[in-house]
Amino acid sequence: MTVQTPVATPLSAALLDRFKALVGPKGWSQDPDIIAPHLREPRDLYAGISPLLLRPANTEEVAAIVKMARETKTKLVPQGGNTGLVGGSIPFMGNDEIILSLQRMNRIRSLDALNDTITVEAGVVLAQVQQAAREADRLFPLSIGSEGSCTIGGNLSTNAGGNAVLRYGNTRELALGLEVVLADGQVWDGLRGLRKDNTGYDLKDLFIGGEGTLGIITAAVLKLHPLPRAMATAFTAVPNPAAAIELLSMAKTATGGQVTGFELISRRSLEFALKHNPGTVDPVAEPHPWYVLMEFSSGRNDGAIGETMEALLADGFEKALVLDAAIAQSDGQRAAFWKLRELLSDSQRPEGGSIKCDISVPVSKMAEFIDRATAAVEAHVPGVRIVAFGHIGDGNVHFNASQPVGWERAKFLELWDKVHAIVHDIAHGMQGSISAEHGVGRMKIDEIVHYKSPVEIEMMRKLKRAFDPDNILNPGKVVRP
């Protein structure tokens, strides 16, 4: 696999040699085959070119690289597991950006069980953080589809969300401290494991969600939680999203905030998953228009959480908010329910082109949003198949449009901008977000200027200019200086 095209780099061989000299022989590559996977992303929406891949082994090497980039005004594209969906980790086509992969910085530096913290380097894969926590009888709750290959540095840089936000928050809420290499090559040691520290401005949250444009996160102190002792999981048929939201509110109260999963799934989403994944089974006997995959967690393994769920479902049934439900009777069944949820996204692929929107609105407006956006897109593209699912407990839905049957994929994808505009206008009108989880990257750098106030964009520009005055850190992503 080679995507490098023979574009001459404006970066001289001498300059590249200076960067290479900063890291050991394992710390760089100019082999197009090795560089290639760093130049494309999961949905193949973006591709770029780069003359050099740097893979520093430690913070000092990162600092030396950034210092030289600053001196020589060389652009850097920081990269973790390269699983992002908005092109934030992909260079442009100018062949003048160096890729800075953090993947070799993959040490778990320490775990403090009494403090409920783990200190990890940016390149540690998310699943390994989860695993290390579990081994210490703790939970690191961040849970996303790409957890087997995404890195914690990428999760932090994009403030990743996922399935457990409802109970535990986004990545931002899971990070207590950071180590960051700033744009001048200085290292900020903010690796504090404190729950309370009011000694000045909140610096870490600039870098979390900053997509590598303000500094490069090299390590973090993350918060751990008690490992739940019992879960109750139900695949629940509901008449519509409004009923799901009411059920959510009842569930939050009934459990005192122990709802750890609340995923909306439309019938069509489920059908695609069942159709394209042999061996999967519909959890509920009859088809229904909407489902909720609902999970509660408890610290006590005494059956109480199961009873709470049963009582809630009975209550919901009486109020016609629940049509049917399957409660997982084993870990295997629980895993099967979640597997269906995870398959939803990829199961759109065999159905042709898909235009994906990553929306959030206030939870109370979720149902209205889905209704209005569905009607508007269907009116614009007759025959389009809306595939809606996601974390409605957080007011976040992956509102996707699969192409009408029989269309050409490319023809449908030409409607990308128009469909985005329709959906984003509706979300924006409800004080929603046009990128709930995935960030800005290259994809939405212009669109956020359209939807945000000039005041807000100007604040972002001020930050970019103050922290990266030479625009060397991931230029062309998030905001232009």
Can you tell me which of 35, 85, 322, 440 binds its own copies, judged by CB under 8 A? 440
- Closer by beta carbon to its own copies, 409 or else 465: 465
* 108 interacts with its own copies by CB under 8 A: no
Q: How far is CA 235 from each of CA 230, 313, 329, 337, 397, rounded to the nearest angstrom? A: 17, 11, 11, 7, 18
60: Cβ contacts below 8 Å, ≥ 6 apart? none
Q: How far is the CB of 221 from its own copies (least distance, A)?
A: 9
Q: Could you give the CA distance from residue 201 to residue 356 in angstroms, rounded to a whole number?
A: 36
- Please give the single-letter amino acid code of residue 281: V
Question: Taking contact as CB under 8 A, which single stretch among the options 14-22, 209-217, 327-335, 343-351 is the one that binds its own copies?
Answer: 209-217
Can you tell me which of 444, 472, 474, 476 binds its own copies, judged by CB under 8 A? 444
- Closer by beta carbon to its own copies, 281 or else 455: 455
* 448 interacts with its own copies by CB under 8 A: yes
Q: Could you give the CA distance from residue 181 to residue 186 in angstroms, rounded to a whole number?
A: 6
**In terms of DSSP H, where are the helices of 187-283?**
204-207, 241-255, 267-276
Binding mask of the shown chain, residues 331 to 370, with x at each position contacting its own copies by CB under 8 A:
-----------------------------xxxxxx-----
- Closer by beta carbon to its own copies, 96 or else 437: 437
* 314 interacts with its own copies by CB under 8 A: no
262: Cβ contacts below 8 Å, ≥ 6 apart? 166, 244, 248, 251, 292, 293, 294, 295, 391, 392, 393
Q: Could you give the CA distance from residue 460 to residue 357 in angstroms, rounded to a whole number?
A: 23
Can you tell me which of 6, 25, 199, 286 binds its own copies, judged by CB under 8 A? 199
Site for its own copies in 412-431 (CB under 8 A): 431
* 112 interacts with its own copies by CB under 8 A: yes
* 109 interacts with its own copies by CB under 8 A: no
* 57 interacts with its own copies by CB under 8 A: no
Question: Taking contact as CB under 8 A, which single stretch among the options 3-11, 19-27, 126-134, 203-211 is the one that binds its own copies?
Answer: 203-211
* 395 interacts with its own copies by CB under 8 A: yes
CA angle (50 as vertex; 45, 56 as ends), nearest 5: 110
Q: What is the CA radius of gyration of the chain?
A: 23
* 436 interacts with its own copies by CB under 8 A: yes
Q: How far is the CB of 67 from its own copies (least distance, A)?
A: 13
Task: Assign 347 to helix, strand or coil.
Answer: coil
Residue 450: HSE in the Cβ half-sphere, 13 Å Cα cutoff: 13
* 197 interacts with its own copies by CB under 8 A: yes
* 258 interacts with its own copies by CB under 8 A: yes
Can you tell me which of 13, 21, 93, 304 binds its own copies, judged by CB under 8 A? 304
Q: Is the dihedral of CA 3, 8, 13, 14 positive or negative?
A: negative
# chain residues binding its own copies, by CB under 8 A: 99
Residues forming beta bridges with residue 385, ordered by sequence position: 402
Count of other CB atoms within 10 angstroms of residue 8: 8
* 202 interacts with its own copies by CB under 8 A: yes
Q: How far is the CB of 140 from its own copies (least distance, A)?
A: 13
- Closer by beta carbon to its own copies, 330 or else 453: 453
> What percent of the residues of the chain are helix, what percent strand, and what percent coil, each to the nearest 5?
35, 20, 40
Binding mask of the shown chain, residues 227 to 246, with x at each position contacting its own copies by CB under 8 A:
xxx---------------xx
CA angle (271 as vertex; 240, 386 as ends), nearest 5: 60
Site for its own copies in 122-181 (CB under 8 A): 137, 158-159, 161, 165-166, 169-170, 172-173
Q: How far is the CB of 290 from its own copies (least distance, A)?
A: 17
**79, containing H or E segment:** strand 75-79
Contact status, residue 117 vs residue 185, Cβ threshold 8 Å: no
* 201 interacts with its own copies by CB under 8 A: yes
Q: Could you give the CA distance from residue 198 to residue 300 in angstroms, rounded to a whole number?
A: 34
* 298 interacts with its own copies by CB under 8 A: yes
* 302 interacts with its own copies by CB under 8 A: yes
* 60 interacts with its own copies by CB under 8 A: no
